[in-house]
A = this chain, B = another copy of it.
Amino acid sequence: MAGKIGLNVAQICLTKDCTEDEIVDELSKLNEDPRVRGVYLHLAPALLTGRVISTLAPEKDVDGVADLNMGRLVRGDPSEGFVPAEAMAVMEVLESHGEFHPQPPVGENIDRNSNILWLSPCVGDTAVGVWLVVGVMGQPNMCVLVSLQNVVLGSCRWLREQQYQDWSLRLLKLQPLNPVPSDIQISRAQTPKSVQQLAQEIGLLPGELEPYGRNKAKVRLSLLERLQAQPDGNLVLVAGITPTPLGEGKSTVTIGLVQALSAHLKLNSFACLRQPSQGPTFGVKGGAAGGGYAQVIPMEEFNLHLTGDIHAITAANNLVAAAIDARMLHEATQSDKALFNRLVPSVNGVRKFSPIQISRLRRLGLSTTEPASLTAEEVRAFVRLDLDPSKLTWQRVVDTNDRFLRKITVGQASTEKGHSRETGFDIAVASEIMAILALADGLGDMRVRLARMVVGTSRSGQPITAEDLGVSGALAVLMKDAIKPTLMQTLEGTPVFVHAGPFANIAHGNSSVLADKLALKLVGRDGFVVTEAGFGADIGMEKFFSIKCRASGLRPSAVVLVATVRALKMHGGGPNVSAGSPLPREYIDENLSLVTGGCHSNLRKQIEIAHLFGVPVVVALNVFKTDTAAEIALVCRLALECGARAAVPCHHWALGGRGSVELARAVKEASAAPSHFQFLYETEMPIVEKIRTIAQKVYGADDIALSPQAEAEIQTYEQQGYRSLPICMAKTHLSLSHMPDKKGAPTGFTLPIRTVRASIGAGFIYPLVGTMSTMPGLPTRPCFYDIDLDPVTEEITGLF
C-alpha cells in the first residue's frame, strides 16, 4: 500500500498484501493530516468494507465513497454477473425520486477490464453531474453507486474553501429583563454556541481553529494568507471623552455596537477587545467583559485565564529578568576565559556558536563563526554584556495586584554572593512583551521585536538587548500560541476577538493588530470591525493613530466617541466624582447647564482631536437610567454643533444590540463617507518636537517643559539610533492636561516631562508626565471576598 501525496490529494492504491487494519490505519492518518486535502480510494473489492468506508472522513472523500455508508451500499451476488439486480433496482428508485435521471445501462459502455460498468449523465432538481456505477474487476461481489459529481466537487472543494465564505450567523436571542440582573446572572442565563459552531458560521475552516474548551478558541494566523485577496471590511475605533474615575463604558458600547450591527442590521461585524488583567478581577475593578446585556460570554472565562496569553507573557518577561541577574552574577564571578568556555562549550572536542550567539557577534561587528579565531579582546567583548546595574530598565511581572512588590531588593541569599540590587515587579500587562504582542503583525515580526527589546545599558553606554542575552528564541517559543487571537462571542452570538491588553499609559493601550487584521478579512468588504482604545481619545485614540495605525497600515473609517451625561456634567463644572463615594445630586438630577458646559469643553476638544487625523466622529451617548430626555437631546444636538457627524443615545446595557441600532446605523453611514486619514507628525521629526506636537495639538498645552533628566535621556535615545520611533505619552487619563483635577478642556498650561523611557522592541519612546503606577494594590476588602464556586455545578459566584 502506498499513500502518495500530490497536489494535496492522496491516492490509496491497492497492493496485494495489505490488510483492512493497515488501510484503516493509513486512512486515519490521512484524515488527520492537514496537508492532505482529499483521498481517492482504489481498492480491491474485498477491502472496500464498511469499516474502511466509514473510516474515511467525509471532508476528505474525493470520490464519494463515504456516501456508500449511508445505506447506498448494495451487496451483489457474484453469480449474477456485473450488474446485480439490486443495482438496477436502485437506479429505478433514483429515477422514481424525480431527482435523478440515470440512463439505462448500455452494453457497449461497459468496460469489462476496468472498474467502470457504465457512465450516465444525470440531471436532477438540484444537481448536474454524472452517475457512475462501479463493479469490480473480475470479482463482481460488490456493486456500488457513486456520484461522479463528487469527484468534481471534491476536487474543487479545496479551491472553494480557500475563498471567502459568506456568514451564516445563528444569533442567540436576548430577552432583556427589567430591572437588569447582575452581569454574571445575565451571562449564565445565555447558553453560548460552541466555538466550533461560531467559527463555521463566520467562514473559518476547521484547521484554522484551536479550541480551548467549548467556549473559546485560538485562530491561526494562516487565515491571513488564505484570505489575502479578500478586501478588508471597515475598521471602527471606539474611544471616549475624558472619563470620570468610574469609567464611561467604552467596552459595553463596543459590544453593544457589534450586537446591533450583526444581530439587528444583519451586517457582519466583529468586536476586538483587550484581555483584562486578573489583578483587578480579584482586586477592585471586577471583570471587563462589558456589562448588562452587552457582554462577552462566558464572562468568567473572559476574566480568568482565558487561553493563557498573559501567563505566557509573564513567563517570557520573567525569563528575561532571571537571565539578566544570572548573567550579571556569572560575569562578576568568572574570568573571560571561563565565561567563554561555558558559553561556547566544547562538545566532543568541538566549540560552536549557536545562531543567537552569531547574531550577537554581528552586533559587535565581528563576522567570524569560528570560536577559535576570536582575539582576547573580542572574546571579552563577546562574553561580557557588562550591564550597568544602575541602568537596568527590565522589571519582573506578576498578574496579581501585589503592592509589596513595587520596590524590592533581590539577590539577598548567600548563594548570590552579595550581588543584591533594588528592582521591582509590574503587573503583567505592563510588560513590554504585552505591547509587542499587540503590535506584532506575525510570528516573524514578533520574534524580531522580542530580540531587539532593550533591557539596560552596558557600562560603556551600549543598549543591551534580549538577543544579547541569548534568550530571544526562547521568548518566541513561549509566545508562539499567545500570538493567535482568541475567538469568543457576545450575548447575541456575534463574534469577538480577545487579544492583548497593553497598559494605556506606559504603552499604547490598544488591542492587537493581528486581531483587527483577521477580523477585517472575516467580516468581508461590507462588514465592520469595532476595536477599542484605552482611556480618553486624547490618549487611547491618539496612540491608536500614531502608533498602531503607523505600525500596521490599518486605517479606521470612523471613530465612535463614547460620552455620558455624568462625565459631561463633570467637565461642565460638576463636583468631584470618585469611586467609593456616593454621586452628588448634580449627577442624578437634570442639569442642562452642566451638560452644556461639558459638551462645549471636553466633548468639543475630543471631537477636534479626531478631526486632526481626518476621521469622522459618531458620538455615542451611553445612557444611564438617571439621564433625562432633555439631557439626552441636548447632548446629541450639541455634539453635532461641535462637529460630530452623528450623535445618538445608546441603550445596549439595558436592551442589548436592540438598544444600539441607531448607533449602528450612524456608524454605517459615517463609514461610508470619504475619510482623509493623516498622521499628526512625521516620525523623522526630533523626539522633542514630536512630544511638543502632541502636547500642543492634542492636549492644548502652551508648551512642554523637559526636566534635565528627560533631556539627557532623549539625547541618549537619539544617539542610540532610536530617534524615529513614535511617541507614547504616559499621562493621566483623568484630564486632557497632566493635572487630573483640571476637567473640561484646560488651556494655558505647560506640560512637564519628568523622564523619558523607551520600549525599543514594541517600538516607541514613552515620556512620563507625572508618576505612573505600574502595580495596583489590593484594598482592605478585595473583590475576592465574594468570589467562590459551587463544587458540584462548577458555577462561579461573585464575579462582576
Interface residues of A (CB under 8 A from B): 24-25, 28-29, 32-33, 70-72, 74-75, 85-86, 89-90, 92-93, 96-98, 170-171, 173, 191, 193-194, 197, 210-214, 218, 278, 282, 300, 304-305, 308, 311-312, 314-315, 318-319, 321-323, 325-326, 329-330, 334, 339, 342-343, 345, 354-357, 396, 398-413, 415-416, 419, 422, 424, 442-444, 447, 470-474, 476-478, 480-481, 777-789, 791-792, 794, 796-799
* A471 to B329 Cα, complex, angstroms: 37
Jot down 30 A-B pairs with beta carbons below 8 A, ordered by A: A28-B170, A32-B193, A70-B71, A71-B71, A89-B93, A211-B211, A211-B212, A278-B315, A282-B319, A304-B477, A304-B478, A315-B400, A321-B400, A321-B402, A322-B401, A343-B780, A355-B788, A356-B785, A398-B398, A404-B410, A404-B416, A407-B411, A408-B410, A409-B409, A409-B412, A443-B789, A444-B792, A447-B791, A473-B787, A473-B789
Question: Which residue in B308, B403, B778, B783 is a CB contact (below 8 Å) of A413?
Answer: B403
Which residues on B sit within 8 Å (CB–CB) of A213? 210-212, 218, 481
Q: Determine the residue in chain B with the shortest Cβ distance to A484.
A: B213
Among A33, A89, A210, A319, chain B packs the most CB atoms within 10 A around the CB of: A319
A401 nearest in chain B by CB position:
B322
Distance in angstroms from A441 CB to nearest chain B CB is 11
Partner of A794, one of B312, B356, B443: B443
B406:A415 contact, CB within 8 angstroms: yes
Chain B residues contacting A322 (CB-CB under 8 Å) are 400-404, 778
* A213–B781 CA distance with the chains assembled, in angstroms: 38
A319 to B354, CA, bound (A): 39
Task: Give the residue of B28, B170, B447, B474 whose beta carbon is less than 8 angstroms from that of A193.
Answer: B28
- Which of chain B's residues have a CB closer than 8 A to the CB of A784? 319, 323, 470-471, 473-474
Known: A326-B403, A403-B415. A788 touches B473 (CB 8 A): yes
Given contacts A28-B193, A408-B409, contact A443 B791 (CB under 8 A): yes
Give Cα A28–Cα B191 distance, bound, in whole angstroms.
11
A318 cross-chain contacts in B, Cβ below 8 A: 398, 400, 402
Candidates B357, B405, B473, B789; contact of A477 at CB < 8 Å: B789
| Contact between A325 and B474, CB atoms less than 8 A apart | no
Tell whether, in the assembled complex, residue B787 and residue A474 are in contact, meaning their CB atoms are under 8 Å apart: yes
Q: What are the residues of chain B within 8 A of A405 when measuring CB–CB?
A: 396, 410
Asked if B413 and A788 make an inter-chain contact with CB atoms under 8 angstroms apart, the answer reads no
Chain B residue at smallest Cβ distance from A70: B70
**Smallest distance from the beta carbon of A426 to chain B beta carbons, Å?**
12
Given A404-B326, A415-B406: A29 touches B342 (CB 8 Å cut-off): no
Known contacts A308-B308, A444-B792, A789-B477; decide if A781 and B342 are in contact (CB<8 Å): yes
Q: Which one, B173, B402, B786, contacts A354 given CB within 8 A?
A: B786
Question: A783 to chain B: which residues have CB within 8 Å?
Answer: 474
Q: Which of B25, B342, B413, B797 contacts A780 (CB 8 A)?
A: B342
A24:B404 contact, CB within 8 angstroms: no
Residues of B with C-beta under 8 A to A799: 477
Which residue on chain B has the smallest CB distance to residue A74? Answer: B97
Q: Are B354 and A785 in contact (CB under 8 A)?
A: yes
With A29-B191, A194-B32, A354-B786 known to touch, is A778 a contact of B323 (CB < 8 Å)?
Answer: yes
How many Å lie between the Cα of A777 and that of B410 in the bound state? 14
A57, chain B: closest CB distance, angstroms: 10
Are B70 and A778 in touch, CB under 8 angstroms? no
Report Cα–Cα, A75/B97, bound state, in Å.
Answer: 8
State whether A343 and B781 are in contact (beta carbons under 8 Å apart), knowing that A211-B211, A322-B402, A402-B321 are contacts in the complex: yes
**In contact, B777 and A480 (Cβ under 8 angstroms):** no
Q: How far is the CA of A444 from the CA of B405 in the complex (A)?
A: 32
CB-based contact A407/B413 at 8 Å: yes
A471 to B419 alpha-carbon distance, docked (Å): 35
Q: Which residues of B contact A792 (CB under 8 A)?
A: 443-444
